[in-house]
Structure 1
Amino acid sequence: MAYDTPALLNRGIDRNHRSFLSAVEGAQLGTFRPRTSREWLRVDPRHVPWLRAAGLLPLCRLVEAAADDRDPAKRWDADRSLLAALVDRWRPETHTFHLPCGEMAPTLQDVSYLLGLPLAGAPVGPVDGVFGWKEDITARFEQVMRLPHLGPANTLPPYSTVGPSKAWLLQFTADLLHPDADDYSVRRSLEAYLLWLFGWVMFTSTHGHAVDFRLVHYARSIADAQPQDVPQWS
């Protein structure tokens, strides 16, 4: 039986789409390389109370490395063939996946169920008072950067309109944080971890080398609050 692509949209659009070219005409469309970031492999136990209060802990555990220290892989790995098949079926005209059984679109509730992210609270969006982020983050991290265990890489964040770079944030990973670090240093490490989580796991449409400076507000608000007073966002 010949494969028949259902005409879910205009026939001209159907025949020019990746799904038709690959499934019907056998075109070799190649694959894609998802952007991944495995530098921050562990969730520091000292960060857990804040992450749990913010509703981020389930997602943090998903992207955490496997329990076996000899295996640097994550607890799970994405099926790239399945992702490629879904990309083939994505229709930008309707922002849905066009499958043989009909249209499908992930909902906000689906995301919450799969990743454990909260839906309560104000939505994440632009905030006021972010124009002085460079001076603010430098002042907050300056005390931590003077600690000797950070080594020669303890430089200030790059002064750009983008935001703190990934290389700068990775100076404050849990592996580099002293076991007896004070509460202030733990909170700054948490802030850096949250910026990494936001920039390379949750909001992956941001810049590849640096996190968007508008997300600094959210990371700082969580890190500076007491666990029982962590603000809630959807």
Structure 2
Amino acid sequence: MHYDERYTPYIKMTGLLPFVQLVSRSTPNLNVAAVTTLIDRWRPETHSFHLRTGEMTVTLQDVFMITALPIEGKPLCMSTDSEGWRQQMEALIGMSPQEPEVEDGGKKDRVPAGATFTWIAANFAHCPEDADDEVIQRYARVYMWYVISRTIFADGTGKNAPWMWLKALTIFVEYKSTWKE
């Protein structure tokens, strides 16, 4: 997916602009030996790393410093019920993936509530040059959905963007606009 500078004001409203800019540039180079060592020293029962010099815990401040994700404010709470997700998706981004076709046995393929990354890229890769504000906002919303579904909220398949994160972005923007500074 291509990042368009016209998305910036809409992404900035969410507080996710530094994170989106970080992951949109490229995947950072990782020190494989350091990552392997940290994995070996991770103790899930204490949620900390056990190192020669002592214990080390990852804090929320550490996550903020590494990812630029906002950590202050009220928690985002919402229903993750997927009932009617196609209709809600159409209302938010103007379209939704096609319904699966009925097989010979009379059953539909079971599909997750959301869209594949290939479907998102095929339909929203480039925002039209002559797009109005509403269309640009729609493309920005899809771009954020794509980025967070690929990074911090990746599903086990690596192929799908779950519907609930698109819904969360929309609620987050509305909710954040009611916060008092």
- State the TM-score, normalizing by the size of structure 2: 0.76
Runs of 4+ aligned structure 1 residues displaced above 4 Å come to: 229-232
User: In 2, are the aligned partners of 1:130 and 1:214 still within 8 Å (CA)?
Assistant: yes
**How far apart are the structure 2 equivalents of 1:231 and 1:193?**
23
The answer for the alignment partner of 2:8 in structure 1 is 48
C-alpha offsets along residues 148-171 of structure 1, whole Å, 9 cap, x if unaligned? Answer: xxxxxxx72566333222112213
**How far apart are the structure 2 equivalents of 1:101 and 1:60?**
35
Matching residue's letter, 2:97: L
**How far apart are the structure 2 equivalents of 1:96 and 1:205?**
24
Q: Secondary structure at the match of 1:204?
A: coil
Identity %: 29
Q: Give the alignment partner of residue 216 of structure 1, picking from 152, 166, 174.
A: 166
Structure 2 CA distance for partners of 1:125 and 1:158, relative to 1, 3 Å:
farther
Gaps of at least 5 residues in structure 2 are 101-110
Higher strand share: 2
**How far apart are the structure 1 equivalents of 2:158 and 2:76?**
20
Q: Secondary structure at the match of 1:131?
A: coil
User: In 2, are the aligned partners of 1:133 and 1:216 still within 8 Å (CA)?
Assistant: no
Gaps of at least 5 residues in structure 1 are 1-39, 66-73, 146-154
The answer for the alignment partner of 1:34 in structure 2 is none
1:56-95 alignment runs, 5 A limit:
56-65=16-25, 74=26, 76-95=28-47
**How far apart are the structure 1 equivalents of 2:24 and 2:71?**
22
Matching residue's letter, 1:112: F
User: In 2, are the aligned partners of 1:59 and 1:116 still within 8 Å (CA)?
Assistant: yes
**How far apart are the structure 1 equivalents of 2:83 and 2:163?**
9
1:203 and 2:153 correspond: yes
Matching residue's letter, 1:203: F
1:117 and 2:69 correspond: yes
RMSD over equivalenced CA pairs, Å: 2.7
Offset of residue 182 of structure 1? 1.7
The answer for the alignment partner of 1:156 in structure 2 is 97
**How far apart are the structure 1 equivalents of 2:99 and 2:28?**
33
C-alpha offsets along residues 157-211 of structure 1, whole Å, 9 cap, x if unaligned? Answer: 56633322211221312xx211221222212211211111221112235552112
Structure 2 CA distance for partners of 1:196 and 1:161, relative to 1, 3 Å:
same
Structure 2 CA distance for partners of 1:95 and 1:166, relative to 1, 3 Å:
same
- State the TM-score, normalizing by the size of structure 1: 0.61
Structure 2 CA distance for partners of 1:207 and 1:194, relative to 1, 3 Å:
farther
User: In 2, are the aligned partners of 1:138 and 1:156 still within 8 Å (CA)?
Assistant: no
